[in-house]
C-alpha cells in the first residue's frame, strides 16, 4: 500500500464512516439495510453508492405495472431511491452508468452498447475512487466475484469496488480525483447464506407457516458459495426499517411477495443478524466478528 492517509493512521477524527456500493437502486435495501440503519443510529456516517439507474429493470410489483411508469422508469426509480435513503438515514451518490439488463436465453444475447458492465474498468472505477476520496470511508461493503448472483452489473460492481478499495489510497493512481484515502476493511455481503436460509426455513415450518425458502436452498446445494461468513452484525431492531426501505422501491418490491413471507418476529428469533465475509483488512481483528468496525474503532478519535 501507499503512504496515503489510511483510515486511521495514528488517530483519525471521527465519526466512523461506512460505504456500501450497489449495482442498482433497491439493492441497498435488500442487502445490508438493517446493518446500515443500525450504524446510522449509533452515530456513524453511512453512504450508499449506486452504480446504475436501474433503467432496464423489470416492474416486479403488479400494482405498479402501468404504461406511464414504464415510460419513465429511470425517473421513477430515482424517486424510489430518494425515499429509501431517507428511511435508512443514509447519504447516497450515483455513479451515473446505465443498467446492463439481465441477458436471458441460450445463448444469452449480447449486452447493450454503452452499459455499465461493458465499461473499461478504469472508466467505471474512476467516479467511485473520487467518491471514496471525498467521503473517506473506513469500511466498504460490496458483492463477491460472482456478484451475489450472476447479474453483469453485480459482477462489475464487485470489480469497481475492489479497484477503488485498492487504488484510492495510491497517489499515483487516478490523478485529479482528490487526495488519497485508504479504507481499512472491505466486506462482501453474505445476506443469503445457506445457514441463515436453513434457520428461517426451519423456524417457519415450526411455526406452521409455508416456507418460501425450500427452492432457494436446493439452488444453493447446486452452487454453494465459496465464501464463509466471518462477521454477523446484530441488527434485528432495524428489520422493520429495512422492510420500509424495501417497500419504497415500489416498482421492484411486491408487498405481497417473497420478501415479506417470513414474519418479523420469526426472523428476529431465528436469525437476528446480517452477515458478511471479510475480504480485505488492514487492521488486526479476531474472527468471527460482530462489528464491521472491529479493529477500526481503535484508529478513530470519537
Residues 53-82: pLDDT tens digits?
999 999 999 999 999 999 999 999 999 999
In this prediction, residue 159 carries a pLDDT of 98
In this prediction, residue 4 carries a pLDDT of 62
User: Would you place residue 162 in the very low, low, confident or very high pLDDT band (cuts 50, 70, 90)?
Assistant: very high
In this prediction, residue 223 carries a pLDDT of 80
Whether residue 9 has pLDDT greater than 50: no
CATH code given to domain 12-192+231-301: 3.40.50.10320
In this prediction, residue 10 carries a pLDDT of 47
Identify the CA nearest to 30 among candidates 149, 124, 129.
149
This prediction has a pTM of 0.95
Q: What is the dihedral of CA 57, 62, 189, 5, to 10 degrees?
A: 50
Is 27 annotated among the ligand-binding residues? yes
In this prediction, residue 29 carries a pLDDT of 98
Is 201 annotated among the ligand-binding residues? no
Instruction: Establish how many alpha carbons lie within 13 A of residue 16's alpha carbon, considering only the half-sphere containing its beta carbon.
Output: 22
Whether residue 3 has pLDDT greater than 70: no
Report the distance separating Cα 215 and Cα 235, nearest Å.
26
Percentage of the chain modeled with pLDDT above 70: 95
Report the distance separating Cα 104 and Cα 87, nearest Å.
34
In this prediction, residue 6 carries a pLDDT of 61
Whether residue 1 has pLDDT greater than 60: no
Q: Which DSSP category does 295 fall into?
A: T
Report the distance separating Cα 146 and Cα 279, nearest Å.
14
Is 154 annotated among the ligand-binding residues? yes
Amino acid at each position: 500500500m501507499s503512504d496515503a492517509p489510511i483510515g486511521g493512521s495514528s488517530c483519525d477524527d471521527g465519526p466512523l464512516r461506512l460505504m456500501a456500493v450497489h449495482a442498482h437502486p433497491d439493492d441497498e435495501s435488500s442487502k445490508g439495510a438493517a446493518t446500515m440503519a443500525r450504524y446510522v443510529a449509533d452515530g456513524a456516517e453511512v453512504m450508499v453508492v449506486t452504480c446504475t439507474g436501474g433503467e432496464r429493470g423489470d416492474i416486479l410489483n403488479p400494482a405498479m405495472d402501468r404504461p406511464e411508469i414504464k415510460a419513465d422508469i429511470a425517473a421513477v426509480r430515482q424517486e424510489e431511491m430518494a425515499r429509501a435513503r431517507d428511511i435508512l438515514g443514509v447519504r447516497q451518490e450515483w455513479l451515473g452508468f446505465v443498467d446492463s439488463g439481465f441477458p436471458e436465453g441460450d445463448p444469452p444475447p449480447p449486452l447493450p452498447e454503452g452499459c455499465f458492465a461493458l465499461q473499461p474498468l478504469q472508466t467505471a472505477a474512476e467516479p467511485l475512487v473520487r467518491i471514496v476520496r471525498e467521503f473517506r470511508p473506513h469500511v466498504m461493503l460490496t458483492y463477491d466475484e460472482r456478484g451475489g448472483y450472476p447479474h453483469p452489473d453485480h459482477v462489475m460492481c464487485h470489480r469497481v469496488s475492489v479497484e477503488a478499495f485498492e487504488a484510492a489510497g495510491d497517489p499515483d493512481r487516478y490523478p485529479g480525483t482528490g487526495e488519497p484515502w485508504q479504507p481499512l476493511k472491505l466486506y462482501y455481503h453474505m445476506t443469503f447464506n445457506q445457514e441463515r436460509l436453513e434457520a428461517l426455513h426451519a423456524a417457519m415450518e415450526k411455526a406452521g407457516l409455508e416456507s418460501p425458502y425450500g427452492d432457494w436452498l436446493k439452488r444453493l446445494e447446486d452452487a454453494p458459495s465459496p465464501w464463509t461468513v466471518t462477521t454477523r452484525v446484530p441488527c434485528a431492531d432495524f428489520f422493520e426499517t429495512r422492510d420500509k426501505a424495501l417497500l419504497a422501491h415500489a416498482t421492484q418490491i411486491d408487498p405481497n411477495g417473497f420478501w415479506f413471507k417470513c414474519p418479523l418476529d420469526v426472523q428476529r428469533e431465528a436469525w437476528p443478524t446480517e452477515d458478511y465475509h471479510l475480504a480485505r483488512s488492514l487492521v488486526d481483528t479476531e474472527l468471527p466478528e460482530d462489528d464491521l468496525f472491529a479493529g477500526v474503532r481503535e484508529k478513530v478519535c470519537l
